[in-house]
Amino acid sequence: MFCPRCGRQVAEEASYCSNCGAPIRGGPQSFLIATTPTIPGYKIKKVLGVVTGLSPRTRGLLGKFVAGFQSVMGGEVTAFTAELEKARAEAIERAKERAVSIGANAIVGLDLETSDIGLQAGITVISATGTAVVVEPES
């Protein structure tokens, strides 16, 4: 199992992430997020609108040096993997916060996109966009 905020692996029985302190599981009223247009076992009662969370990221000088060295050697560039995982979790959390602020208890149709902001700045933007909804369990 992985922490929804920082992406670190946590023990199956953990309630909180030992790395960032984020709650791992919610109670029966936990917030639901799905990439699908519906959530099996739930019916959408109200559509509240589109919500988005953005997380622009870059590596510092040392991180760019390590990444440059790793790219010469070939294979995974781990200097960027951790940052991208953090950015993904952060973008989803920001979309969730916006959804909660307008009264949603779920997001459906979540889409994650990655882009380079350009300008040769080395800034990557992770975007999480979905539809904020109110769902309830099917009877």
Is the pTM for the entire model greater than 0.75?
no
What is the pLDDT of the chain when averaged over all its residues?
A: 80
What are the φ and ψ backbone dihedral angles of 17, each rounded to 5 degrees? -75, 130
What average pLDDT does the segment 7-11 reach?
80
pLDDT digits (tens, 9 = 90+) for 100-111: 999 999 999 999
Domain ranges within the chain, ordered by starting residue: 1-27, 32-137
* List of E strands, the chain: 32-33, 42-57, 106-116, 124-137
Q: In the CATH scheme, what architecture does the domain 32-137 have?
A: 2-Layer Sandwich (3.30)
